A and B are shown apart, each in its own frame.
Chain A
Amino acid sequence: MLDINPVWQSASALQLRRKTLRMPNHDRRQSSVDSDSVDDMVAKHQKRAKARETVTHLQQKFFHLSDEELRSGLASLNAEEVPELAPTIRRLQTAASERNSFVTMLDDKKFDRELVIALGKSVVLPQSDAGYVREKYIQNLTTKSSRKRARETSLKIQKAYPNLFALERDWLTTLQNSKSSGPMKSGGASLLNFRVLFFGTLIAYQIAKLFLMD
Chain B
Amino acid sequence: MSDPAWHHLPHDPRSFFDLAEGFDRRDLKRAYGKLIRQFKPETHPQEFQRIRAAYEQLENAERYGRNQAESQSAAEAWKPNTNSQPQSESRPSDTSASDANQPSKRPKPPISPVDEAIANPRESYTRLSQRHSRSPLDYYILAVLSDLLVKPTNESEKHRPQFLQWLLDGLQEHPQEHGLISLVAGTLRGDVPDDQIQTLLPKIAKSIRSSMFYRLTEPLWERLLLDQPFETFERLIRECEGHLRQGDPRARLAFYLRILRTAIWTAPSEWTQSQLETLSGQAADLDDSMQNDLEFVELLHSYLSSTKPSASEFPARATMESFLRTYCTGDGPTATAEMARCLDEIARDAHGVQESFPINQEQDDHSLFLLMMMATSDLAETTGLIAPAPDEEKNNRQAVSCLRDLKNTLQEVVHRVSLIDTTYKWIPFAGLYLVFGILFTVIWFIAMTIVNQMTYSSASGAISVLIMIAGLLSFPILYFWWFYPKHLAERAENSRQKYFATCYTKRWRERLFRYVQSCGESPSDSLTRLNEAAAFHDDTEWMNLVLSFCHGDLGLLIFARAQLFVG
Set of chain A residues within 8 Å of B398, measured between Cβ atoms = 131-132, 135
Are A21 and B401 within 8 A (Cβ)? no
- Interface: A32 (CB within 8 A): yes
Of A31, A127, A187, which one neighbours B567 at CB under 8 angstroms? A127
Set of chain A residues within 8 Å of B222, measured between Cβ atoms = 29
Are A184 and B349 within 8 A (Cβ)? no
In the docked arrangement, what's the CA distance between A33 and B48, Å? 9
In the docked arrangement, what's the CA distance between A52 and B510, Å? 32
A184 CB, min distance to chain B CBs, angstroms:
4
Of A5, A32, A41, which one neighbours B75 at CB under 8 angstroms? A5
Are A45 and B219 within 8 A (Cβ)? no
Are B186 and A131 within 8 A (Cβ)? no
- Which of chain B's residues has its CB closest to A52's CB? B42
In the docked arrangement, what's the CA distance between A37 and B80, Å? 26
Segment among B270-278, B360-368, B411-419 that sits at the interface with chain A: B411-419
- Interface: B309 (CB within 8 A): no
Are A83 and B11 within 8 A (Cβ)? no
- Interface: B437 (CB within 8 A): no
Q: Which B residues from 209 to 228 make CB contacts under 8 A with A?
A: 219, 222-223, 226
In the docked arrangement, what's the CA distance between A18 and B350, Å? 47
Q: Mark A1-40, 1 if CB is under 8 A from B, else 0.
A: 1110111111101100110111111111111111000100
B79 CB, min distance to chain A CBs, angstroms:
8
Q: Mark B357-384, 1 if CB is under 8 A from A, else 0.
A: 0000000000000000000000000010
Set of chain B residues within 8 Å of A187, measured between Cβ atoms = 408-415
- Report the contact-size class of chain A (Cβ under 8 Å from the partner): 35 or more
- Interface: B531 (CB within 8 A): no
User: Given that A42-B46, A184-B405, A187-B415 are known contacts, is A10 also in contact with B183, CB under 8 Å in the complex?
Assistant: yes
In the docked arrangement, what's the CA distance between A173 and B345, Å? 16
Of B46, B191, B333, which one neighbours A18 at CB under 8 angstroms? B191
Set of chain B residues within 8 Å of A170, measured between Cβ atoms = 348-352
Of A13, A30, A33, A86, which one neighbours B340 at CB under 8 angstroms? A86
- Interface: B460 (CB within 8 A): no
Are A84 and B411 within 8 A (Cβ)? no
Interface centre among A3, A29, A38, A126 (most CB of B within 10 A): A29
Are B567 and A85 within 8 A (Cβ)? yes
- Interface: A48 (CB within 8 A): yes
Q: Mark B327-350, 1 if CB is under 8 A from A, else 0.
A: 000111110110011001101111
B86 CB, min distance to chain A CBs, angstroms:
13
Of A26, A33, A84, A184, which one neighbours B409 at CB under 8 angstroms? A184
- Interface: A186 (CB within 8 A): yes
User: Given that A26-B193, A42-B46, A187-B409 are known contacts, is A127 also in contact with B563, CB under 8 Å in the complex?
Assistant: yes
- Which of chain B's residues has its CB closest to A182's CB? B405
In the docked arrangement, what's the CA distance between A55 and B42, Å? 14
- Interface: A46 (CB within 8 A): yes
B459 CB, min distance to chain A CBs, angstroms:
54
Set of chain A residues within 8 Å of B71, measured between Cβ atoms = 7
- Interface: A143 (CB within 8 A): no
Of B78, B341, B394, which one neighbours A6 at CB under 8 angstroms? B78
Q: Mark B64-102, 1 if CB is under 8 A from A, else 0.
A: 000000010011001100000000000000000000000
Set of chain B residues within 8 Å of A7, measured between Cβ atoms = 71, 74-75, 78, 178-179, 182
- Interface: A87 (CB within 8 A): yes
Are A184 and B519 within 8 A (Cβ)? no
Set of chain A residues within 8 Å of B510, measured between Cβ atoms = 174, 180
Set of chain B residues within 8 Å of A185, measured between Cβ atoms = 408
Interface centre among B79, B163, B222, B333 (most CB of A within 10 A): B333
In the docked arrangement, what's the CA distance between A85 and B387, Å? 10
In the docked arrangement, what's the CA distance between A21 and B491, Å? 78
Of A31, A135, A173, A186, which one neighbours B411 at CB under 8 angstroms? A186
A92 CB, min distance to chain B CBs, angstroms:
11
User: Given that A127-B387, A173-B351, A184-B409 are known contacts, is A28 also in contact with B332, CB under 8 Å in the complex?
Assistant: yes
Are B567 and A2 within 8 A (Cβ)? no
- Interface: B518 (CB within 8 A): yes
- Interface: A134 (CB within 8 A): yes
Segment among B19-27, B49-57, B231-239, B439-447 that sits at the interface with chain A: B49-57
- Interface: B229 (CB within 8 A): no
Of B49, B158, B410, B519, which one neighbours A128 at CB under 8 angstroms? B519
Q: Which B residues from 29 to 73 make CB contacts under 8 A with A?
A: 41-43, 45-46, 48-49, 52-53, 56, 71
- Interface: A70 (CB within 8 A): no
Are A31 and B56 within 8 A (Cβ)? yes
Are A14 and B186 within 8 A (Cβ)? yes
Q: Which B residues from 166 to 196 make CB contacts under 8 A with A?
A: 178-180, 182-183, 185-187, 189-194
Are A131 and B518 within 8 A (Cβ)? yes
Interface centre among A9, A13, A134 (most CB of B within 10 A): A13
- Interface: B523 (CB within 8 A): no
In the docked arrangement, what's the CA distance between A169 and B347, Å? 12
Are A131 and B385 within 8 A (Cβ)? no
Set of chain A residues within 8 Å of B192, measured between Cβ atoms = 26
Are A45 and B337 within 8 A (Cβ)? no
- Interface: A139 (CB within 8 A): yes
B567 CB, min distance to chain A CBs, angstroms:
5
Set of chain B residues within 8 Å of A46, measured between Cβ atoms = 42, 45
User: Given that A5-B78, A29-B330, A188-B411 are known contacts, is A14 also in contact with B183, CB under 8 Å in the complex?
Assistant: yes
Interface centre among A21, A22, A55, A188 (most CB of B within 10 A): A21
- Interface: A190 (CB within 8 A): yes
Q: Which A residues from 133 to 167 make CB contacts under 8 A with B?
A: 134-135, 138-139
Are B46 and A38 within 8 A (Cβ)? yes
- Interface: B117 (CB within 8 A): yes
Set of chain A residues within 8 Å of B43, measured between Cβ atoms = 49
Are B514 and A26 within 8 A (Cβ)? no
User: Given that A3-B114, A21-B147 are known contacts, is A128 also in contact with B330, CB under 8 Å in the complex?
Assistant: no
Q: Mark B118-131, 1 if CB is under 8 A from A, else 0.
A: 10000000000000
Interface centre among A45, A49, A52, A134 (most CB of B within 10 A): A45
B227 CB, min distance to chain A CBs, angstroms:
10
Q: Which B residues from 147 to 167 make CB contacts under 8 A with A?
A: 147, 158-160, 163
Are A127 and B517 within 8 A (Cβ)? yes
Set of chain A residues within 8 Å of B78, measured between Cβ atoms = 5-7
- Interface: A79 (CB within 8 A): yes
- Which of chain B's residues has its CB closest to A47's CB? B42
Set of chain A residues within 8 Å of B53, measured between Cβ atoms = 11, 33
| Known pairs A5-B79, A131-B520 / 5 extra A-B pairs, C-beta < 8 Å | A26-B192, A83-B340, A84-B383, A183-B405, A188-B411
**Could you write out 13 A-B pairs with CB less than 8 Å apart?**
A5-B75, A5-B179, A6-B179, A8-B11, A11-B186, A42-B46, A52-B42, A127-B566, A131-B519, A132-B398, A134-B514, A187-B413, A191-B415
Chain A residues in the interface with B (C-beta under 8 A): 1-3, 5-11, 13-14, 17-18, 20-34, 38, 41-42, 44-46, 48-49, 52, 55, 79-80, 83-88, 126-128, 131-132, 134-135, 138-139, 169-170, 173-174, 180, 183-191
